[in-house]
Structure 1
Amino acid sequence: MTMSVRTKAFAGVAGAALALLGTAAPAQAAPTKNDTSVSVGRLVLDPSDRGYHGTLPVTVRYRGTQVGYLQVTVLEPTPGSFDGVLPQQPCFFGSTSPNRTLVCEIPGGGLQPGENRTFDLAFTVLTTARSYPMVATGGRVAVNAGDGNPANDTAKFDALFRSTSGSLRNPRPYVRNLVTDATVTAGSATLVRQPDGSYLGSVPVTIRYRNDAPQSDVELETNLPAGVELRGIEPQDVCVGGWCAVPGGGFMPGEERTVTLKLYAEPGTVAGPLGTGTTTLHVRYDNQDLPDVDPSDNSAPFTVTAVDAG
């Protein structure tokens, strides 16, 4: 199993929060009333040159007798679409594959008894803008007062994708790909001797993404000949061991992106061919590698050669 190189707040969702979305919970005494209620507006996703973007207004009404520190639980209407709470708050992710559940702190701190509070949930779908409207159904919001009360309120919502001409009428169903169609290619690497006797060089790597499968992380796993080390990626992003996050965030369908892997060889390395390396593309969603249409083009070999400065 691979491990993400990015620090992500993926964690198990608390049982009480999952219970609000249909997971069985331990038997409890029947509550006399709801501690909270929740209502939502409409989620309209507007097209842009990088997918669709929109926000869902949420209003929470708190009826507790003491200050309440509440959480909101979200079930996405389409996989990988949740983009956070506004104003920004910590969120924890759990899987109800393919659509995720997310538990987030409600902005603004503790709620006073009887208080109403409104905030937004942001959504982004990295797919090509269409000339016709679309809809993704099944979104749900629940609010948790932290008291184990299963009667706390829930609200359903759909995601409406506005057409490029502005229409929302007669939307077609939107179904997101869950199998990637990505490729990676690599050039050769030439390492040049430095004044201290070490060798530095780089290898260009090009990633092409052909569909709209969601991506939590896109990473390159690189294996190198003996004596050659991976020293980073450009543009700069996180690298751990032989793994580097691909800079630039999620890919749009049809997007091509070239990055550079930085390589190093110790002083004393003999100039000449050093061997062949391989870089492998991993597209991860919900902390798991997604399958690819053709896994054979997800790895690319490249030669590594050391030369003395001319």
Structure 2
Amino acid sequence: MTTRTARIATSLLGGAAALLTLTAPAAAAPTGTTGGTDITAQRLVLEPTDRGYVGTLTATVTNRRSTATSVNLVITEPAAASFSTIEPGGACLYDRLVENRLVIGCMGDRIEAGQSVAFRLGFHVWTTARDYPMIADGGRIEVVPDGATRAADSTGFTTLFRSTTGSLKKPRPYVQATETDLSIRGGAVVLTRQADDSLLGRMPVTVRYGNDAPTFLLNVGAALPAGVAVHHIEPQDMPSFPNWFSVPGGRFMPGEERTFDVFLSAPAGTPAGELGTGTFTVAGSYFWGTDPQDVDPADNSTSFAVTAVDAS
């Protein structure tokens, strides 16, 4: 799949891999401080669930100026692709990567002179819950007053992953995969003649996600015999196209397999018989121009025979 195709698929998510809501200008990286606005943050404690770890960080911004001001927040994730929500707040834009973690600029809120606002930042780390606690450093928040080109203040925060037994004591470092471990399986597909003389056939496809490398969606490129195209998939939560589609169901947990149906078609006038061999290739989509490599590209593709038959 080309980079352009992956970008188009990402944009159809309504912003999943580059835009969280609508557009907002990313705040510039700080080169100093402007003063007058302070930020403090608690540690982030992530709780284990059957779909990874979730938690909320509270960051308090205080406006020490004599006039009201609006602020933007610049958030460096503690784990890649983990930031999920901000309240109160507005649009967020993925800006860049730091050690494979996203730096995200978010429109904040208006703060009156001498007042404070507590921002609640949601995080979701899509990794298997462990029976021991973990720790991740590197999370950071910067506050940029409206109209400023650099941060007024910043603070780091520590992230703790609570164990499945409830402990936070003696945490081990959380080490997240940086390369995906994807695989895809399919089989031969038979296209059957329809009432309008076109051909249509169903092909079950299984995709496996082997680790916790960050991706927002999985795209599948289709190389098909002449005249054969992807008609649609079921279930379908995003548009599909003649030569590619996205795996339905949202983000994966490590080790999760997902089976869905791909429907292939051929136009009226296509003769019955062997039409050729097709190939599906799956790849992860994360951040512009830096989509992850895979640990074993050999099983990222599956090939299959395509046969056309007349209705019985």
Q: Same fold (TM over 0.5)?
A: yes
Segment of structure 1 superposing worse, 273-282 or 4-13: 4-13
For 2:263 and 2:242, how far apart are their aligned partners in 1? Answer: 13
- Residue 90 of structure 2 aligns to a residue whose secondary structure is coil
CA distance in 1, matches of 2:77, 2:47: 17
**Structure 1 stretches of 5 or more lacking a match?**
none
Q: Secondary structure at the match of 2:222?
A: strand
Q: Is the 1:84–1:91 contact (alpha carbons within 8 Å) kept by the matching residues of 2? A: no
Count of aligned residue pairs for this structure pair: 298
- In structure 2, what is the equivalent of residue 247 of structure 1? 248
Does the CA contact (< 8 Å) of 2:10 and 2:285 recur in 1? no
What is the match of residue 10 of structure 1?
18
Unaligned runs of 5+ in 2: none
Q: What secondary structure does 1:70 align onto?
A: strand
Verify: 1:139 aligned to 2:139, yes or no.
yes
* 1:180 and 1:291 in contact (8 A); partners too: yes
CA distance in 2, matches of 1:60, 1:177: 33
Q: TM-score by structure 1 length?
A: 0.89
Within-5 A mapping of 1:1-310:
1-2=2-3, 3-4=6-7, 5-7=9-11, 8=15, 10=18, 17-20=27-30, 24=31, 31=34, 34-87=35-88, 89-97=90-98, 98-106=100-108, 109-148=109-148, 150=150, 152-236=152-236, 237-287=238-288, 288-310=290-312
SS at match of 1:289: coil
Bigger shift: residues 56-65 or 277-286:
56-65
After superposition, what is the alpha-carbon deviation per residue over 1:94-114, rounded to whole angstroms, capped at 9, x for unaligned?
A: 2224111001112xx433222
Whether the 8 Å contact between 1:227 and 1:265 is mirrored in structure 2 is yes
Post-superposition shift, 1:70?
A: 1.7
- Contact in 1 for aligned 2:142/2:151 (Cα 8 Å): no
Q: Deviations over 1:173-211 (max 9, x none)?
A: 001000111111112211111111111112221111111
Counterpart Cα distance in 2 of 1:89 and 1:238: 27
**Alpha-carbon distance in 1 for matches of 2:36, 2:234:** 51
> What CA deviation, in whole Å up to 9, does each residue of 1:252-304 have, x standing for no partner?
11111112222111111111211111100111222333111111110111111
The residue type paired with residue 167 of structure 1 is S
More divergent stretch after superposition (52-61 vs 160-169):
52-61
Cα distance, 1:308–1:87 mapped onto 2, change above 3 Å: farther
Please report the RMSD computed on the Cα atoms of aligned residues, expressed in angstroms. 2.2
SS in 1 for 2:10: coil
Give the conservation status (yes or no) of the 8 Å contact 2:144–2:151.
no
TM-score (norm 2): 0.89
What's the secondary structure of 2:298's corresponding residue?
Answer: helix
* Aligned partner of residue 160 in structure 1, secondary structure: strand
Q: Name the CA distance, whole Å, in 1 between partners of 2:149 and 2:197.
A: 67
The whole-number CA distance in structure 1 between the counterparts of 2:67 and 2:264 is: 59
Q: In structure 1, what is the Cα distance between the partners aligned to 2:243 and 2:281?
A: 10
Partner of 1:176: helix, strand, or coil?
A: coil
